[in-house]
Structure 1
Amino acid sequence: MAAKAGAAPATYSPSPTTFKKNRPPIFTGNVDWVRPDGRDFHQCRPAFLRTGAVNAASGSAYAEFGNTKVIVSIFGPRESKKAMMYSDIGRLNCSVSYTTFATPVRGQASSENKEISSQLHKSLEGAIMLDTFPKTTVDVFALVLESGGCDLPVVISCASLALADAGIMMYDLVAAVSVSCLGKNLVIDPVSEEENYQDGSLMITCLPSRNEVTQLTITGEWSTPKIHEAMELCLDACSKLGKIMRSCLKESASASQE
């Protein structure tokens, strides 16, 4: 993955295949069906990552996966406001918000901010060595600049990169990928149009180097074979995304030493 602006986006797809329901013409059951952005069913969007996007923050990262654009700022560790509540481990606060122009309908995503913030917290908490900063707090502020589909997985991956950029001790980076079920087919890293007509979705966040899942979220009705297939797709893509994220950090570190 690129660590500098202007570098070519990287891809991290697993591999290809080929639906049905009362959907618009683009969502048909024939083998000639093409995804809105032309990708294969098992092909992730080109991804661009860059660290050090916000100078005033302890660490930051910018992520662009297709039309989904996210920026994350990290502040801390700093003394907890609730200093009277002693804790042997640090606190993690996560906040996700959308710009007013992020979605086609102004303010459309604001009602979901609290839930997305909670899911971001759950995904990151297990990867951070909280005992390395007792009695202090790390704040994670994610801003979705443009919503193009798969917002939460992009936010999670970007936040993980920003935490690493801030020097927060972690067991591993956190990579997140989701799959949508559209009729009989699974499409990885769906865009907004596909999410609007999906029968269900499955998202995995994991520590790619350790092959550990930190969160599994499933919506809709899934058969057991479909769940297994979707999980394999997500885990494979997470592994490849993790390599791209580490490459971004290495390039960033090399650039700062020059």
Structure 2
Amino acid sequence: MASKGGAAPSTYTPAPTPTNKAQRPPFFTDSDVDWTRSDGRGFHQCRSAFFRTGAVNSAAGSAYAEFGNTKVIVSVFGPRESKKAMMYSDKGRLNCNVSYTTFATTVHGQGSDNKEFSTMLHKALEGAVMLETFPKTTVDVFALVLESGGSDLPVVISCASLALADAGIMMYDLVAGVSVSCLGRNLIIDPTLEEESFQDGSLMITCMPSHYEVTQLTITGEWSTANLNEAMQLCLDACSKLAKIMSSCLKEAASASKD
């Protein structure tokens, strides 16, 4: 497969919310009154998103995603006969694995499987995949983080959803993922690796925008009710816009394959 989608990076920033520049992240000095993020984005501005399907010829479906310095590739194989006994199940099985290359992070030799991310990827996708359409068989989803630049998991989940669709796996809807970091009183959407290292808390939402259904909600750290509500709205709004970019990528790929 050589289909491509998303010829140029697209943005999916949620509706802007007024921010108080005086409320700066705690890791900046008092002299940084007019501080902006290291990549020039506003607090509520997402990185440009680039997607391409058909990235791995040997896979049933695949996708590549690039969000700033975060680069991910996902391959989907199957459905294949399940190695586990599923005589009494009329549904298929989704097997997910997330791993990092040895050069994905600045720490040499840290490439390995990430069991926590693998479990969370499965939870995010399971509710969106029509498992009954491939009974007693397994679909394998292998995600590889080529470069870790922050917000790795939501990028992996979005890319994996696109790869499943590219493989022709029946789904209720695409799954888009977005995260927000809380730094002091500030909410920063789609954080970089540096910003995540200073965060006081994080929130990630993955959802099926067309169905208005959240497939996974993960919260760490301490949050005020107001910040939590605002962060959830930011994520949901951004997920909706990100899903449109993902859908456009699939349409462009389908159109290209007909030519």
TM range (shorter): over 0.9
- Which residue does the alignment assign to 2:238? 237
Identity of aligned residues (%): 77
Equivalent residues of 2:6, 2:252 under 8 A apart = no
Specify the code of the residue in structure 2 equivalent to 1:12: Y
Equivalent residues of 1:90, 1:134 under 8 A apart = yes
Q: What's the TM-score, normalizing by structure 1?
A: 0.93
Shift of 1:149: 0.1
What is the CA–CA distance in structure 2 between the aligned matches of 1:110 and 1:55, rounded to whole Å?
A: 24
Shift of 1:106: 2.0
- Which residue does the alignment assign to 1:12? 12
Q: Which of 72, 80, 83 is equivalent to 1:81?
A: 83
Equivalent residues of 1:20, 1:29 under 8 A apart = no
Spell out the pairing of 1:37-56 with structure 2 (5 A cutoff).
Answer: 37-56=39-58
Specify the code of the residue in structure 2 equivalent to 1:246: S
- Which residue does the alignment assign to 2:112? 110
What is the CA–CA distance in structure 1 between the aligned matches of 2:38 and 2:88, rounded to whole Å?
A: 52
Equivalent residues of 1:10, 1:244 under 8 A apart = yes
Gaps of 5+ in 2: none
SS at 1:172 equivalent:
coil
Answer yes or no: is 1:153 the counterpart of 2:154.
Answer: yes
Spell out the pairing of 1:1-258 with structure 2 (5 A cutoff).
Answer: 4=4, 7-14=7-14, 15-16=16-17, 17=19, 18=21, 19=23, 23-25=27-29, 31-83=33-85, 85-108=87-110, 110=112, 113-258=114-259
Instruction: Point out 4+ residue stretches in structure 1 off by more than 3 angstroms.
Output: 3-6, 18-22, 28-31, 83-86, 107-111
Equivalent residues of 1:153, 1:203 under 8 A apart = yes
Shift of 1:120: 0.2
Equivalent residues of 2:99, 2:143 under 8 A apart = yes
Moved more, 62-71 or 31-40: 31-40
Specify the code of the residue in structure 2 equivalent to 1:116: F
State the Cα deviation string for residues 105-149 of structure 1 (Å, max 9, x = none): 0244637x0000000000000000001100000000000000000
Gaps of 5+ in 1: none
Specify the code of the residue in structure 2 equivalent to 1:51: T
